[in-house]
């Protein structure tokens, strides 16, 4: 038995695992075939819209576009600029530990417990250097205990909800993807939590999954469409399906990928890239868009729109 094929794979699936198997499975005739020129068409559409701003950049100062950047500028721009001044916090560190532990679980021999995975993931990240290692080393005992407890809960839910991922399903975790546009002056990047399956020629077969610890938000659909777009330009064949998976609810929110989905992702990526450029290089004033996230916004004390929304929400 090899790594990734756990000894307990013959245990019957629970209903949540069975739902995942049914979601991910597709007969060969249900896997769509795409035009081999699709990738080029999408790239040409993006570059036609983005060259006017790319001409004002150079390769050493490329504009990086990511899922996080796009959802930031399509939400409240003022908050996004504050969040961009990145610093590790308990929720961010916890998310990274959970993703690392899930990554280890896919390749671990035998049947690990969630806490074993969390502890191993934390140790590896702590040894890995960089700012997260510094944060972990200097976290208080309470912060570490809280991180361990919540991460354990999330990893346990993943192991409960997902069937053991067999090697034949080609599971890949934390896969970095990147596409360079306009002579490398604009870069579309991202990291996909989990991908399963693979394309066969121009017939789609891959499924991209984003693992979520919170509730559904419409922006999650856009996040995955963006990944489908990057994957299509990178590989030439789109993924068959994208899905956010909500660990607390043990529910997936899937979307079948087709050309309309990819065209929508192109339009949103162009709008977002233009706005990122205007904010970073054009001196544009960030807009404010009140919403549920105002409650946790560090600017709330000084933001009239956010306070008004917060009061209405409380009423």
Query: Which tokens sit at 28?
Result: 């060969």
> Toward ligand SF4, which CB reaches closer, 27 or 311?
311
Q: Do 93 and 80 touch, CB atoms closer than 8 A?
A: no
How far apart CA 206 and CA 25 sit, in angstroms, is 10
Closest residue to bound ligand SF4 by CB:
306
> Toward ligand SF4, which CB reaches closer, 79 or 157?
79
Nearest approach, Cβ of residue 281 and ligand SF4 (Å):
21
> Toward ligand SF4, which CB reaches closer, 50 or 303?
303
Residue 106: count other Cβ atoms within 10 Å of its Cβ.
20
Nearest approach, Cβ of residue 81 and ligand SF4 (Å):
9
Residue 288, SS3 per DSSP:
coil
Q: Do 178 and 6 touch, CB atoms closer than 8 A?
A: no
> Toward ligand SF4, which CB reaches closer, 55 or 302?
302
Compute the C-alpha angle 119/120/124, nearest 5°: 120
Nearest approach, Cβ of residue 40 and ligand SF4 (Å):
39
The residues facing 251 across adjacent strands are 246
Nearest approach, Cβ of residue 261 and ligand SF4 (Å):
28
> Toward ligand SF4, which CB reaches closer, 79 or 240?
79
Nearest approach, Cβ of residue 315 and ligand SF4 (Å):
17
C-alpha closest to that of 214 among 245, 238, 241, 178:
245
By CB under 6 A, name the binding residues for ligand SF4: 76, 78-79, 288-290, 293-294, 297, 299-300, 303, 305-306
> Toward ligand SF4, which CB reaches closer, 272 or 290?
290
Close Cβ partners of 132 (under 8 Å, ≥ 6 residues apart): 88, 93, 96, 125
Nearest approach, Cβ of residue 68 and ligand SF4 (Å):
15
Residue 173, SS3 per DSSP:
strand
Residue 269 CA to chain centroid, in angstroms? 15
């Amino acid at each position: 038995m090899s790594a990734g094929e756990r000894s307990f794979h013959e245990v019957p699936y629970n209903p949540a695992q069975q739902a995942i198997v049914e979601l991910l499975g597709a007969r060969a005739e249900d896997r769509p075939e795409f035009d081999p020129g699709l990738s080029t068409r999408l790239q040409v559409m993006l570059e036609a819209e983005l060259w006017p701003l790319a001409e004002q950049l150079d390769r050493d100062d490329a504009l990086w576009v990511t899922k996080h950047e796009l959802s930031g500028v399509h939400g409240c721009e003022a908050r996004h600029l504050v969040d961009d001044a990145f610093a590790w916090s308990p929720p961010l560190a916890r998310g990274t530990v959970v993703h690392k532990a899930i990554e280890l679980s896919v390749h671990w021999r035998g049947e690990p417990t969630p806490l074993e995975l969390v502890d191993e993931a934390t140790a590896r990240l702590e040894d890995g250097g960089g700012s997260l290692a510094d944060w972990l080393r200097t976290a208080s005992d309470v912060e570490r205990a809280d991180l361990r407890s919540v991460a354990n809960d999330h990893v346990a839910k993943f192991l409960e909800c997902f069937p053991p991922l067999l090697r034949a399903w080609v599971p890949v975790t934390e896969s970095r993807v990147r596409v360079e546009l306009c002579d490398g002056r604009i870069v579309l990047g991202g990291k996909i939590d989990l991908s399963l399956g693979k394309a066969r020629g121009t017939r789609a077969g891959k499924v991209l999954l984003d693992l979520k610890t919170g509730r559904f938000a419409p922006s999650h659909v856009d996040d995955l469409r963006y990944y489908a777009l990057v994957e299509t330009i990178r590989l030439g064949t789109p993924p068959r399906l994208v899905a956010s998976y909500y660990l607390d609810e043990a529910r997936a929110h899937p979307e079948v990928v087709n050309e309309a989905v990819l065209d929508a992702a192109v339009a949103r990526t162009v709008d977002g890239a233009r706005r990122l450029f205007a904010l970073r290089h054009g001196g544009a004033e960030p807009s404010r868009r009140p919403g549920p996230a105002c409650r946790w916004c560090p600017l709330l004390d000084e933001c009239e729109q956010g306070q008004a929304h917060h009061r209405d929400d409380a009423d």
